[in-house]
Homo-oligomer: A and B are copies of this chain.
Amino acid sequence: MFTIGEFSRLARVSCRLLRHYDELGLFKPARVEAATGYRYYSAAQLPRLNRILVLRELGLSLEQIAEALREDLPAASLRGMLLLRRGEIARSIESESQRLRQVEGRIAQIEVEGRLNADDVVLRSEPARVFLSTRRTVASFAEGARLLGALAERAPQRLAGRPVGPLAAVAHAAEFELEDIDVEFGLMVESALDGPVRLGEEFVLHTRALPAVERLAACVRVGPPQEAHLTTARIARFIEAGGYRICGATREVFLQRPSAARMHEAVVEMQFPIASI
């Protein structure tokens, strides 16, 4: 029999760990002297402790290990636990690799520009949305802004009993246009509506599915639309430095409902779907 200190040296673990496992009931000393509370371990306990350490090494929680060491646990269950764990590790490696690419993108950016400029560009995914919208070709940016303001003023807070989400616009053109802009705009809603919705004389909105996007470079623009190019420039640098390419229509989501009179206070998120080159 060994005292806790001796046994900890044999097993190469800390005394605290042994006391902790004792407390959890995971690994108890062979004998505890009642008078002093001293713990005594036997050499024959080493295999069980090593079994625990091995499973811990594989990344199982102590609770899972206790489960795995139950005498009556069939081998198939342990296999199931390990298969589960394999999936977790694989996903973790995947997300760490992506994180590594992002860090490298930021480093590259600092090296090119001397500072971290596009650091308010975020990368995230977007689920599929229901978009109640109309698609037009508008003559100019000013005309587009007027239409958005007009739509905002006519848009209700609720439709068919459900709250209405933010205003949004989608630029469908393959390239940037200053005039005759092919744009879809409307309201995000929770679920599809039966038939079109008429708002005032100018708008008839149809239910459309806006597809999910796996990766999206997004940047919030706070200010007048004339300054949108500053935001797109940031996103552009981000895309370049990260080794991405644009792979879908640009979206602008109005985080605050705009009004024609207060376009200079707009809070808009510009979203560019992207993919690795």
A contact residues vs B (CB 8 Å cutoff): 10, 43-44, 46-48, 50-51, 53-55, 57-59, 75, 78-79, 82-83, 85-86, 89-90, 92-93, 96-97, 99-100, 102-104, 106-107, 110-111, 114-116, 119-123, 219-220, 222, 255-256, 265, 267
Question: Shortest distance in angstroms between A181's beta carbon and chain B's nearest beta carbon?
Answer: 26
- When all copies of this chain in the complex are counted, the total is 2
Asked whether, in the complex, the Cβ of B89 is within 8 Å of the Cβ of A107, the reply is: no
> With the chains together, A55 CA to B99 CA distance in Å?
11
Q: Known contacts being A58-B103, A103-B85, is A75 close to B115, with CB within 8 Å?
A: yes
Asked whether, in the complex, the Cβ of A222 is within 8 Å of the Cβ of B43, the reply is: yes
Q: Known contacts being A10-B256, A50-B219, A75-B110, is A90 close to B100, with CB within 8 Å?
A: yes
Asked whether, in the complex, the Cβ of A123 is within 8 Å of the Cβ of B50, the reply is: no
Which of B57, B114, B222 is in CB contact (< 8 Å) with A47?
A: B222
Q: Known contacts being A44-B222, A57-B99, is A111 close to B10, with CB within 8 Å?
A: no
> A93 — which chain B residues lie within 8 A by C-beta?
93, 96-97, 100
Asked whether, in the complex, the Cβ of B47 is within 8 Å of the Cβ of A120, the reply is: yes
Question: Shortest distance in angstroms between A276's beta carbon and chain B's nearest beta carbon?
Answer: 17
Asked whether, in the complex, the Cβ of A86 is within 8 Å of the Cβ of B58, the reply is: no
Which of B79, B99, B107, B255 is in CB contact (< 8 Å) with A59?
A: B99
> With the chains together, A93 CA to B219 CA distance in Å?
29
> A107 — which chain B residues lie within 8 A by C-beta?
79, 82-83, 86
> With the chains together, A120 CA to B107 CA distance in Å?
44
Question: Shortest distance in angstroms between A233's beta carbon and chain B's nearest beta carbon?
Answer: 14
